[in-house]
Structure 1
Amino acid sequence: MKVYHTLESFEPLPNAVVTSGTFDGVHQGHRKILSRLSEAAAQRRGETVVLTFWPHPRMVVSEDSHGLQLLSTIEEKTELFRELEIDHLIISPFTRAFSELSPTEFIQQVLVDRIGTKRFVIGYDHRFGRNREGSFEFLQKVAPDFGFEVEEISRQDIDELAISSTRIRNALLRGDVQEASDLLGRPYQFSGVVVKGKQLGRTLGYPTANIDVKENYKLIPANGVYAVKVMHQGEVLRGMLNIGVRPTVDGTSRTIEVNVFDFDQDVYGERLVVELFAYLRPEMKFGNLEELVAQLAEDKQKAIKAMRL
């Protein structure tokens, strides 16, 4: 897959089959569109092109974007598109000026002049252009004049999957990682750099790596304890993760701490990727450290059973 970080760096193709959108999470609904994109390209002997945007448009045009929580970073989305064997990925900077393009200007300047679109595949409720004025009906009307075909994935096809990024976010915010995984088609994941904590876990026999997720827009699931898989330097490890404020030791700030099973390497400053496998329990305040240690032992056994180690 070739990746372009501006529209200007992309050379128009002779037979481009294109889709466009934010694709947050690249979930099962998105994959329906991307699968059809690949089918259409094969039928036309063309090349697939995904046009997406960064920053997320709401970060630029919406006044209420401060609390925006996304399912995927642009780096994560890029890897997911790569796994789906997309030919070309254009990550166009989203600016105020870009948001002011009319639907006709978007079609002419972006789809036709910059990309060379011959077929445009979109989801059933796709909107584009200034104030989201462009619609499938508008595309159907004008596409022949611009020399390309347009195809909409039907509402029925998407509704059969009952998937939306909002539904996935809500599932994660209540700790339902199973529903989120089902809708995404894979476990939800996040990554961060290991930073020094208070090292209390080591004294309790459960050393933890404190993970600092730099992207403040990345959605972190509900507080609680989870069974997880951890990717470190190409190795897949198992462990249990706590998200929360650590009330037993009078914590005040939210932390993300993972205890990796059968692992005792110094990973400070290194990046870990965490996949959420199962929700084990909510965060709890214990009467003393002995009660906490007993619960951690039980959590570990539940995690092992959940992942069928």
Structure 2
Amino acid sequence: MNTIQNISNFSTSEKTYVTIGTFDGVHFGHQKIIDKLVLEAKKANRKSVLLTFFPHPRMVLQKDATIELINTIEERAELLKKTGLDYLIIHPFSKDFSRMTALEFVRDILVNKLNISKLIIGYDHHFGKNREGNIVQLTEYSHLYDFIVEEIPAQDIDDVSVSSTKVRHALATGNLKTANNYLGYNFMLSGTVVNGKQLGGKIGYPTANIDVKESYKLVPKTGVYVVKSTIDNNTVFGMMNIGSRPTVDGTYQTIEVHFFDFNQDLYNQYLTIELLYFLRDEEKFSSIDALIVQIKKDEKTARDYIKNKL
């Protein structure tokens, strides 16, 4: 897959099959659209193109809105690499771009830039200034500019019963199993290992403190999780705490990972942590000793899960 930053950097003499959207989560519903696009493009000997936007339109048009996305743009690109797409185009979304009319979008972007032969979109897709464009206009413009439009029926999407909103709700409520089932992969958090207060090491559980720099990235419910990561091409398991450490200080939220059977300096490394299982809610214990007792129980439960479920 070729990743193109900004549609102005893309040009092709070959006809393309295209889909458009934010595709946050790249969940099963999205995958159904993308699989269809890739398969049909190959059958027709065309190039498959996914056009997405960043920042998310709501970040630009609703400045005061709280945006929580399942994926960072880098995570989304990595997930899309696995789909068989020929091209991923990430176009900067701006207020100027949002003012493009539906006709201008079809003519200038789909036809003149992407050299479109067929557009495959999800049910009830809207586009252009004030979201004025819909399937009716797309069909009219497709006759004008000689391309095909295929809308995936609502029933087909409903059969998958997946939406980004459902995934976000599952993560926010600690229902990690449902979220991962919807996604078709393990939800992930990516960030740089930064210095902490070294408290974990003092109680026998050294942790890597993960700094997720993207403020828009959804951080799931506070609590303790079974996790895994790939470090130096090796899979390493562990447990992660998301929360404010109420037994210790309770001042601000941290993301801390203790890796099992692992002793390596990870400072300044960029890690992707996959969340496998939700162990328990965050609690405030009566003492550090009581906390250590619970952490040991968590470790046993986590190791049993890794041994018996994975």
Q: Could you tell me the TM-score, scaled by structure 1's length? A: 0.97
Which position in structure 1 is the counterpart of 2:113? 114
Partner of 2:193: 194
Q: Could you tell me whether the CA contact under 8 Å between 1:232 and 1:271 is conserved in 2? A: no
Secondary structure of 1:107's partner?
helix
SS at match of 2:7: coil
- Displacement of 1:306 after TM fit? 1.9
Q: Distance in 2 between matches of 1:195 and 1:32?
A: 38
Deviation (angstroms), 1:204: 0.9
Deviation at 1:248, TM superposition (A): 0.7
- Letter of the 2:46 partner, please give it: G
Shift of residue 12, structure 1, vs aligned partner: 3.0
Any conservation in 2 of the 1:227–1:240 contact (CA below 8 Å)?
yes
Question: Offset at 1:233?
Answer: 2.9
Secondary structure of 1:29's aligned partner: helix
> What is residue 22 of structure 1 aligned with on the other side?
22
Which runs of structure 2 are paired with 1:223-302 in the superposition (5 Å)? Answer: 223-302=222-301
Instruction: Find the aligned partners of 2:136 and 2:204 in 1 and give their Cα distance.
Output: 62
CA distance in 2, matches of 1:188, 1:155: 26
What's 1:216 paired with? Answer: 215
Q: Deviations over 1:56-94 (max 9, x none)?
A: 1111111433x2010111111111111111101111111
Structure 1 residue 236: deviation in Å?
1.3
Choose 10-19 or 218-227, whichever is displaced more: 10-19
* 1:160 match: 159
> Could you tell me how far 1:190 is from its partner in structure 2?
1.1
Paired with 1:19 and 1:172, the residues of 2 have a C-alpha distance of 27
Residue identity in the other structure for 2:175: D
Q: What amino acid does structure 1 have at the position aligned with 2:120?
A: V
Conserved? CA contact 2:24–2:71, under 8 Å: yes
Kept after mapping to 2: 8 A contact 1:13/1:117: no
Match of 1:39 in 2: 39
Cα deviation for residue 113 of structure 1 reads 0.3
Distance 1:285 1:95 in 2: 44
* Alignment check: 8 A CA contact 1:224 1:242 kept: yes
User: Which residue identity is paired with 1:167?
Assistant: K
8 Å CA contact 2:33, 2:152 repeated in 1 = yes
Is the partner of 1:186 in helix, strand or coil? coil
For the 8 Å contact 1:277–1:307, the answer to whether it is kept is: no
**Structure 2 CA distance for aligned equivalents of residues 233 and 159 of structure 1:** 40
8 Å contact from structure 2 (residues 241, 256) kept in 1: yes
Counterpart of 2:60 in structure 1: which amino acid? Answer: V
Q: CA deviation at 1:295?
A: 0.6
Structure 2: segments with no counterpart, 5+ residues? none
Measure, in 2, the Cα distance between the counterparts of 1:248 and 1:307.
Answer: 27
Deviation, structure 1 residue 18: 0.3
Q: Which amino acid aligns with 1:88?
A: Y
CA separation in 2, counterparts of 1:232 and 1:216? 25
Shift of 1:15: 1.6
What's the CA shift for 1:131? 0.8
Deviation at 1:272, TM superposition (A): 1.4
State the AA in 1 paired with 2:5.
Answer: H
Q: Deviations over 1:119-146 (max 9, x none)?
A: 0000002111011111112212221111
- Paired-residue identity, %: 46
Q: After alignment, is 216-225 or 74-83 more displaced?
A: 74-83
| 8 Å Cα contact 1:228-1:277 kept in structure 2 | yes
* Partner amino acid, structure 2, of 1:288: S
Contact 1:194–1:210 (8 Å) recurs in 2: yes
Instruction: Please tell me whether the aligned partners of residues 12 and 113 of structure 1 are also in contact (alpha carbons under 8 angstroms).
Output: no
Match of 1:2 in 2: 2
Once the two structures are superposed, residues 211-245 of structure 1 have per-residue CA deviations (whole angstroms, 9 ceiling, x without a partner) of 11101110010100000012223221000000001
Query: 1:172: which partner in 2?
Result: 171
Helix, strand or coil for the counterpart of 2:8?
coil
- Deviation of residue 20 (structure 1)? 0.6
User: Displacement, 1:13?
Assistant: 3.8
Contact 2:106–2:141 (CA under 8 A) maintained in structure 1: no
Equivalent position of 2:50 in the other structure: 50
Determine the structure 1 residue equivalent to 2:89: 90
Aligned amino acid, residue 256 of structure 2: E
SS at structure 2 position matched to 1:247: coil
CA–CA separation in structure 2 for the residues paired with 1:13 and 1:33: 24
Amino acid at match of 2:265: D
Aligned residues: 308
CA distance in 1, matches of 2:127, 2:256: 41
- Cα separation, 1, equivalents of 2:302 and 2:136: 50
